[in-house]
Chain A
Amino acid sequence: MKLTAQQIEMINEALIAKGLIYDDIKLELIDHIATDIELENEQSNFEDAFFKVFSKWEKSLEKTSSFWLANLAPRIVIEKYSSLYKSLFKYSLLSVIVFSVLLTAITILNPEECVYNLLKLVFASVYSLSCLTIITSLFFIWKLKSKTIYGRFFQKNCSYLGFYFFIIYTFLNDHTHLYRHYHRASFFENFMDWFMPGFFFFVSVYLIMTAIVHFKIVKKYKLL
C-alpha cells in the first residue's frame, strides 16, 4: 500500500532526528525507506514496518565523528564529508605543484621586470575575483536556505577565508618589487613562495566548485 504524505513526513522527521539534515542525501533515503516500508506494509502495519526498515539503516545512520569532521554526524554524512576533503587535498596539491613548478621555471629564465608586474596584476585580479565569488556564493547559499552536503562543506571551509585573505594579500604586498625578490631567492625559496599562496588559491577554486555543485543540486532536485 502506498504511503500517505503524512507517513512520508514521519520518515523525514525521523531522519532529521538522527542528524540527517542534508536534503540531497535525505531525498534519496526517504524514497528508499518509503519503498521498503510499502513492501513490508503488505505483511504488517505501518508502525511495525517503519521500525523494521529503520533498523536496517542503524549502521549508516549511527552518529560518529572523524578526523575530517569533529562534530557527531550520521556515518553516511561523515563518509561523504571525508571523500570531499580527500578530493580537495588531492586536487589542490596536484594543481599547486604544477603551478609552482611552472612559475619557478619562468623565474629561472630571468625575465624582465615588466613580466613580473604583469604576473602580479593577473594574480591580484584572479584572487580578488575568487574572493568575490566566494562571498557572493556564501550570500546565496544563506539566502536559498536549502541544505546540501556540498553547501555545508563550502560554508564550513569558508570560515578559513580570513586566513586565506591574509596569506594572499601578504604575498602580494611583500612582492612590490617582484623582480628584485626573485633575483635573490634560491630555487627552493622561489618554489615555496609560489606554493603557499598557490595552495590557498586552488583550495578556494575547489570550494567555488562545491558551491556550484550545491546550486546545481538545488535546481535539479527542485529543493527551492
Chain B
Amino acid sequence: MKNSQLYKGSLNTIIMKLLEENGKMYGYEITQKVKAITQGELNITEGALYPALHKLEAEGLLDVEIEKVDNRMRKYYKLTEKGTTETVNRLAELEDFIRNMQSLVNPKLEF
C-alpha cells in the first residue's frame, strides 16, 4: 500500500465505506475498486486486505455470503446492522481527522 503508515489506520473505514456504497463485494473487487477510485494511487495489498476483512468479520461488523461463480466459490462481504451504524461513526471520525490534519498542515485553508 502506498504510504502504508499513513493509510493503515484508515483501511477498515475505507472497506466499510465501499461496502456501504456497493452492498456486497469480494476481496479482489475491493482492491480494484480502491485502485480505480484513487486512479492507481492507492493499492491495497492482499496481505493487508484479508486480515482487515477477517477482523471486521470477527467483530460482527461484516457478514459473509458464499456463492458459486464459474468453477470456484466466492466469498462476498456485506455490512451487518452493527457495521452500518459503525460505518457512520468511523466516517465521522475520519472526516474530523482529515479536517484537523488539514488545519495543521495548511492552517490558512478554510472549509
62-77 of chain B: CB within 8 A of chain A: 64, 66, 69-75
Known: A31-B27, A32-B28. A8 touches B51 (CB 8 A): no
Residue pair A27, B73 in contact (C-beta under 8 Å):
yes
Residue pair A31, B47 in contact (C-beta under 8 Å):
no
Residue pair B47, A76 in contact (C-beta under 8 Å):
yes
B contact set with A: CB distance below 8 Å: 26-28, 46-47, 50-51, 54-55, 58, 64, 66, 69-75
Partner of A83, one of B46, B55, B66: B55
How big is chain A's contact interface, by range? 20 to 34
Known: A76-B50, A79-B51. A36 touches B70 (CB 8 A): no
Judge if A3 is at the interface, Cβ distance under 8 Å.
yes
Pick out which of these stretches binds chain B: A56-64, A100-108, A113-121, A196-204: A56-64
Complex contacts, A34 vs chain B, CB 8 Å: 70, 72
A contact set with B: CB distance below 8 Å: 2-5, 8, 25, 27-28, 30-32, 34-36, 56-57, 59-60, 75-76, 79-80, 83, 87, 220-222
Residue pair A220, B71 in contact (C-beta under 8 Å):
no
Complex contacts, B50 vs chain A, CB 8 Å: 25, 28, 60, 76
Residue pair A60, B73 in contact (C-beta under 8 Å):
no
Q: Could you tell me the distance between the alpha carbons of A3 and B71 in the complex, rounded to whole angstroms?
A: 8
Q: Could you tell me the distance between the alpha carbons of A28 and B57 in the complex, rounded to whole angstroms?
A: 14
Residue pair A28, B75 in contact (C-beta under 8 Å):
yes
Q: Could you tell me the distance between the alpha carbons of A221 and B71 in the complex, rounded to whole angstroms?
A: 15
A4 to chain B, nearest CB (A): 7
Residue pair B64, A31 in contact (C-beta under 8 Å):
no
